[in-house]
Amino acid sequence: MRYLQENGIDPLRSAEGRAIIQNVINSVDKAGINQRRANAAIGEEYLKARGQLAAKGLYNSEYENWLLK
């Protein structure tokens, strides 16, 4: 976007601008995005389970820190 702005290229009205945007879209690492989504889902499950343990009084943050070190 910065390149387009610096060179006065309209990203929606010029063929060059649309081509640059399409090139950026096509170069996105889709596998990486899907992996980050999967990691986020796992993280949400972890936080939910931790919250359930905390509600029951079974969660110990010191023990978790010891496990992660």
Contact yes or no for 50/43 (Cβ under 8 A): no
pLDDT at 2 (0 to 100): 86
- pLDDT digit string, tens, across residues 14-69: 999 999 999 999 999 999 999 999 999 999 999 999 999 999 999 999 999 999 98
Residue 12 predicted with pLDDT over 90: no
DSSP letter (8 states) at residue 1: -
Separation of alpha carbons 68 and 62, rounded Å? 10
Give the C-alpha distances (Å, rounded to integers) separating 66 from 9, 30, 51, 62, 69: 55, 35, 19, 6, 5
